[in-house]
Chains A and B, each alone.
Chain A
Amino acid sequence: MDSHSQVLERLRTAFRSGITLPLEFRRTQLTKLLALVEDNEEQIVKALHQDLAKPKFESILSEVEIVTNELHHAISNVATWIQPEYVSKNLATKLDDCFVRREPLGVVLIIGPWNYPLQLLILPLVGAIAAGNCAVIKPSEISSATDCLVAELIPKYLSQDCYAVVRGGAEETKALLQNRFDHIFYTGSQAVARSVVQAASVHLTPVTLELGGKCPCLIYGQINIQAVAHRVVWAKYFNAGQSCVAPDYVLCTKATRDALVPALTTVLEEFYGKEPQKSPDLSRIVSARHFTRLMKLLEKTKGKVVIGGQSDEKDKYIAPTVLVDVEEDDALMGEEIFGPILPILTVEELEKSIELVNRKEKPLALYVFSNESSVVKTTMEKTSSGGFCSNDGIIHMALPGLPFGGVGASGWGSYHGRWGFETFSHRRACMLRGWALERLNGLRYPPYSEDKLKWLRWTTSARSNCSLM
């Protein structure tokens, strides 16, 4: 407890001193963070392999590269982001300076998850640094190797007065949340998110929640079955299905399913060979607890396993698995699967499957595969989700221009690129008025009269845009 408050006091003092405000400081810290990732690529890949048996390719792509890209993006754009934004004025405020200033919030808390232990911890940090905040970083204790590495590297590269790593499990996190922060950025599960909001409400701390959800994958209309199979398999079994935006279940017609299952078999073999357990390109389940959870799901389900189904507890390995004949009320359709298990539900009509999707909580991402743009359009318009991607999976989150975040049960708030900067900034409305024209102000002072009102109505209306001014 004590050490937490000491750390916080140190950060708060640093923030109050205004050291994080200058653009130069933010750029330097971002550059150092970039150096951290670039210098230690080997070690990062090793740690991730230790935690999740992540293949190097996946580690580089989804952890190292995405972070360095975001950093490059932030370093080259932060100067533009922090510029005051001048807003349009009405006649009454024509002579004043009206602008929105992006100001740092203060000391923020970033809690990371274990599935992408580096990416989902550092990307918010980039936003927090760019916005000029001090940050407490809490990596997930489940991905322990990365946790260790982050705790070791961050103080080496970043300013120790402004950024601190706090480690620990559920108890420590609970204690940490008792403290007052200016923003909490949490990535993880819904259950924990509730207690995060509960704790935040005591101090009225704004929260960003990046949660998961069952991301549906609709396959309807004309399709190119080979391309669909490739993209679905890639997105689903990337990191062994332990991605918050991984397609959770497939909805398609019977005919599509019959064509899809053989295609999936071929693609899986093409990707991971005849014995996926030996493939270096397939990750493992993060912990014994999650392994048991997934195995229980496989036991309870009434669906039929058509591909995979093998497992090895010692290795925490579950083969890429596909199930058919899964019903809406199946065990697999309850919670987010978060593992290499893909149930296929057959619904004959697109409308019906949209209804099914809408009966569930709003997902973090929604995928639709079709050559027909009408199918894509209908699905987009009739559903709600944090992100929407047609004819591919996961890839929409690699674009810093798109906000990444959920809606409803899949989270609030968004980040990536400028959106992350905005999340960690306070948009302060500023109006600098002059002293002149006090007589004009007389209109608004009591004693009131109908005449004055008429004039005021005119000057404050949105219509009165005089092009000369």
Chain B
Amino acid sequence: MSQEELVVERARRSFQTGRSKPLEFRLQQLRRLQSFLKERQEDIKDALQKDLGKSGCASELYELLVVEAELQLSLTRLAEWAAPRPVEKNLFTLSDEVYVRPEPLGVVLIVGPWNYPWSLTLLPLVGAIAAGNAAIVKPSEISSTSSTVIKQLLPLYLDKDLYQVVEGGVPETQQLLKQRFDHIFYTGSTAVGKLVMEAAAPHLTPVTLELGGKSPCYIDKDCDIRIACRRITWAKLINCGQTCIAPDFILCEPSVQNRVVEEIRRCVKEFYADSPKTSDDYGRIINQRQFKRIVGLMEGCTIAFGGDADESQGYIGPTVLKNVTGDSRVMQEEIFGPLLPIVTVQSVDEAIHFINEREKPLALYVFSHNAKLIEKVLAETSSGALVANDCIVHFLDSALPFGGVGHSGMGRYRGRHTFDQLSNLRSCMIKQLKMEGLNSMRYPPHSTKKLGWARRFLLSQLNVQKLRNMAMLAMLTCLAAFVVQSANQCWHHRRIIYWKLVHEACPAYCLVPKAIILLRIISSKAASFTQTTALSLRDNVFLSRKPAHTSTLLLITQHASLPLVEGLLCSAVPALKLSSRCRSSAAGVQSGPSLYWSKHFIFVLM
């Protein structure tokens, strides 16, 4: 048995014990990962400094912050994510439990990239742990220091059998990919992505591919070019351009090209002082191979500024290329370095055409003051993500699914999306052995009559909400009858009746409570005229406001405790978004203690 086989076997064995499944265990492992990040921050920063020349702050900002936020989110929301999700039923399944239950898949392989060796390796791991899977982590061998640190330190914090780290280069990865996994999560290049998918085919392993692509950035002439360039320069030069969602090239009209160049030059100066080379905040190219590739891309282009490089340090200065055409070399592959070509187009239509001619990018950026133009770009292009008037920041919002389309990848992750991606959403139907008589319509020997019944029963859709509403309406009518009767007979008795009205139900029900209130007011002879109007006034407002809120509450008491009525209604007022005039008229009648109680009441009820 090879090393890789043993590793996977060990992970699978421990997964089969069911150890990773309980929620408690998952939370505990996530907390350990949290303390790992906190306690080993210095080791991580050192590793990043050595691999990519990232400064301490930059490492924390772009690598650790996002993982910490993800961990925090997973810890608070995991119970909710892992809970069964009920689905709508039909007539046939009315008495059954029907839900979707997220379950762990098994052993997940996570292959990380070298550009963000920590965040892009740990983010999927957080999801894998949260979903209850075992995981094999394979950090990129190119960012070798980080890889070693992950290998050394991660097992000190996490379960050693369930979550293992495998180091190695291409042959080891190939060996690893021959093993059978339950999911493969790969972040890296499109070329390797194809190989991963091919390797997954014999075992029919589902894959998530987070690849790159040339993410375009369109600058409309009608926008604040100064701010646009600031945001673009920042996004482009993070990690020395080695970001999968960095703006790859700029599309703009020829008339603004020179301004764009000037603004970017100014921003570079602002961010990195006079020389990026000596600035702590400017990163380096990962290795010689990449360095040579990027320098080679500059050939034959007009350099607007920058272009300086130092092979011994792996340094390439921030560079803007002017008047680049679609067929030049720099436009053929993802740049993944601090070169920013500007391609001029005559109009937004030409820009859209230019984008659609190429593979679908991972991200698309558009800068404009014109909402219509943004809408147009959004509607007429395709990309993993679209950000208007900024770059990269969509990655920070874990509620947005992150992932590509076409050659920029498949599958989604971040936050809940990672959890779903690495879970088996198992559909469950829990039936009973009772009511066998009902089933006979589907059994042979078949007859036309049975068919008619089966058509209606087995499949037809049923709006359970509607049924529930109908039942509630019936109940309310009964209650109304009861109230009217008891109000007539013993109206000196205090009685509180409440309804919680769900907003969908409102249109139908509003008439009922209104009728009840009016009836009650007419029947309660003790109620004074002003109070009556106050009540009916609120009643009217309540009726007209129904779509604005999601849940409303109406309380009616028998006349004995009118201050309480007022109080109760009054505290329901904010929920009803009542106008201030009505609120003040109600406030005039309320008394202190009853308000307190009513608030308490409503809190409980809602």
Contacts and interface: CB of A to CB of B under 8 A. Distances in A.
Genuine A/B complex: yes
Interface of A: 16, 18, 21, 55-58, 60-61, 65-66, 69, 72-73, 87-90, 92-93, 98, 100-101, 103, 105-106, 182, 190, 193-195, 197-198, 200-202, 204, 206, 209, 211, 223-224, 226-228, 230-231, 234, 270-273, 279-282, 358, 369, 371, 376, 380-382, 384-392, 395-396, 398-404, 407-409, 411-414, 426-435, 438, 441, 444-450, 452-453, 456-457, 460-463
Interface string B469-511: 0000000000000000000000000000000000000000000
B53 interface: no
Contact of A388 (B69, B93, B429): B429
Given A100-B400, A279-B444, A369-B433, A398 B92 contact: yes
Contacts of A105: 405
Contacts of A60: 451, 455
Interface in B19-64: 21, 55, 57-58, 60-61
B128 to A, nearest CB: 16
18 contacts: A16-B356, A21-B379, A61-B442, A89-B399, A193-B204, A202-B194, A202-B198, A234-B443, A279-B445, A376-B430, A407-B424, A431-B388, A445-B234, A446-B234, A446-B282, A447-B271, A452-B57, A462-B73
A253 to B, nearest CB: 17
Contacts of A206: 410-411
Contacts of A399: 87, 89-90, 93, 98, 429
B201 interface: yes
Interface in B409-448: 409-412, 424-434, 436, 439, 442-446
A396 B439 contact: no
A371 B433 contact: yes
A18 B403 CA distance: 23
B201 A201 contact: yes
Contact of B429 (A98, A230, A402): A402
B349 interface: no
Contacts of B270: 445
Contacts of B380: 18
Contact of A453 (B61, B400, B406): B61
Interface stretch (B100-108, B135-143, B253-261, B303-311): B100-108
Contacts of A389: 428-429, 431
A446 B238 CA distance: 9
B401 A92 contact: no
B431 to A, nearest CB: 4
Interface stretch (B335-343, B457-465, B538-546): B457-465
A273 B444 CA distance: 10
B450 A433 contact: no
Contacts of B589: none
Given A388-B428, A399-B98, A429 B410 contact: no
Interface in B382-400: 382-390, 393-394, 396-400
Contacts of B374: 432
Nearest to A223: B433
Contacts of A270: 443
Contact of B382 (A281, A369, A426, A445): A426
Contact of B459 (A16, A223, A382, A398): A398
B299 interface: no
Contact of A438 (B230, B282, B369, B455): B230
A90 B88 contact: no
A446 B61 CA distance: 11
A448 B61 contact: yes
Given A384-B426, A438-B230, A453-B57, 12 more contacts: A21-B379, A206-B411, A223-B433, A384-B424, A387-B426, A391-B431, A403-B427, A407-B105, A408-B106, A428-B383, A446-B281, A448-B58
A424 to B, nearest CB: 12
Given A204-B193, A395-B429, A449-B57, A428 B436 contact: no
B400 A395 contact: no
B457 to A, nearest CB: 11
B601 interface: no
B454 interface: yes
A369 B68 CA distance: 45
B397 A98 contact: yes
